[in-house]
Amino acid sequence: MTSYSVKDIAKAIGAKAVGAVDLSVSGVAEPQDATSGDLALVMKPAFAENLSKGSAQVAMLWPDADWQSFGLQAAILPDRGRYAMATVTELYDLGHGFHKGIHPSAVVSPEARLGADVSVGPLTVIEAGAVIGDGSVIGPQCYIGIDVNLGANAFLRDHVTLGARVKIGANFICQPGARIGGDGFSFVTPEKNQVEDARAELGQSSISARQSWARIHSIGSVTIGDDVEVGANTTIDRGTIRDTVIGRGTKLDNLVQVGHNVVVGEDCLLCGMVGIAGSSQIGNNVVLGGQTGVGDNLTIGDAVITGAGTMVLANVPKGRFMLGYPAMKMESQVEAYKGLRRLPRLFADVANLKKAVSKSADND
């Protein structure tokens, strides 16, 4: 069982510790569930009332909290509690118990190169030319294709696929079932098709002849920077000619789809069920809320934020907060929604006015 003293935890997160700082903490819990050996996480005053429902002796509170008034023996007072959670949860993370070393059932090509202290789980396949960086952990039933380059300290959970020639930096984390380096969704007809015609004519198409779709092969790959995390069942398509790119420090949630040739900048957050169509470019520090859709061949500037369910159908300048379908500036979307909510009352007022005018005309 992992255990740290209050002062050791405070030192690790760069926070102030008060009270009986030598007390040992063996776990982390929400305040109502905390036992005497747990660190209760109470970073906002609104959560403090739940302390009385548990039996915590130690809590992580807000900077100027009156910790003694809660009957605690010790407290940790970080400047930014949620950020402190990053270190606290790392300290108490029990891991996933994956196999150490190379499992006998793993199939590792003699032409692959594995760095020092690499672990490979059962039934994983590593193809020829793959290079795995030092300290990496490859979970069970993963597939690593030919000439893949995976940086140091990677952590791949179970059932992860890295297609041929994918290049990934250091400290990569990948959740179960992610598929990186599948072919892009790219097809063409011998002559101009109804999709092209409808797009050019804003929805009107004069083409009705049946045509078959020819496959455009994906001969690019995927390049991913350092410190990137990819969620469960997320898919990143390889590029058609050049690589699809995910920048350093970017985090992808579960069920995200990144199309062929897309370039995603650094330190972005792509939340659950985001879809980015082919050849679009996403700037740095962009946050795409859950179920955001981005059309193809678009550019989204740095520091853009989209609300959940936003559909981006045109370029977005840097720094905008976008919302709605189609995406508009947040304040414009909110005003439009308010107007929509007022429509029934407006219709009722107009109906009443019509009745009044009609009655007045009848009386004349």
Give the C-alpha separation, 218 to 231, whole Å. 23
Q: Two tokens at 272?
A: 């659950």
Angle (CA) 351-352-356 rounded to 5° is 120
Strands (E), 97-238: 107-108, 113-114, 119-120, 125-126, 131-132, 137-138, 143-144, 149-150, 155-156, 161-162, 167-168, 173-174, 179-182, 187-188, 214-215, 222-224, 229-230, 235-237
Q: How far is CA 177 from CA 43, 254, 255, in A?
A: 34, 10, 10
Residues 114-149 pLDDT 10s: 999 999 999 999 999 999 999 999 999 999 999 999
Tell me which residue of 162, 181, 164, 184 sits closest to 172, measured CA to CA: 162
Residues 270-286 pLDDT 10s: 999 999 999 999 999 99
Predicted pLDDT of residue 364: 63
- The answer to whether the beta carbons of residues 240 and 297 sit under 8 Å apart is no
Predicted pLDDT of residue 340: 82
Predicted pLDDT of residue 231: 98
Give the C-alpha separation, 266 to 269, whole Å. 9
- In the CATH hierarchy, which fold is given to the domain comprising 4-91? 3.40.1390
With 0-12 / 13-18 / 19 or more C-beta atoms within 10 angstroms meaning exposed / middle / buried, residue 242 is middle
Give the C-alpha separation, 24 to 6, whole Å. 6
Q: Two tokens at 303?
A: 């520091």
Predicted pLDDT of residue 189: 93
Low-confidence ranges of the chain (pLDDT < 70): 1, 362, 364
Longest CA span, the chain: 101
10 Å Cβ neighbour count for 268?
Answer: 24
Query: Catalytic: which of 96, 103, 217, 260?
Result: 260
- The answer to whether the beta carbons of residues 323 and 308 sit under 8 Å apart is no
- The answer to whether the beta carbons of residues 25 and 10 sit under 8 Å apart is no
Query: How many CA atoms within 13 Å lie on the side-chain side of 354?
Result: 6
10 Å Cβ neighbour count for 358?
Answer: 10
CA dihedral 224, 230, 232, 236 (to 10 degrees): -30
Give the C-alpha separation, 291 to 215, whole Å. 28
- Beta strand 74-77 with 16-19: parallel, antiparallel or unpaired? antiparallel
Predicted pLDDT of residue 1: 66
Is 103 assigned a catalytic role? no
- The answer to whether the beta carbons of residues 282 and 294 sit under 8 Å apart is yes
Predicted pLDDT of residue 355: 84
10 Å Cβ neighbour count for 328?
Answer: 17
Give the C-alpha separation, 275 to 292, whole Å. 6
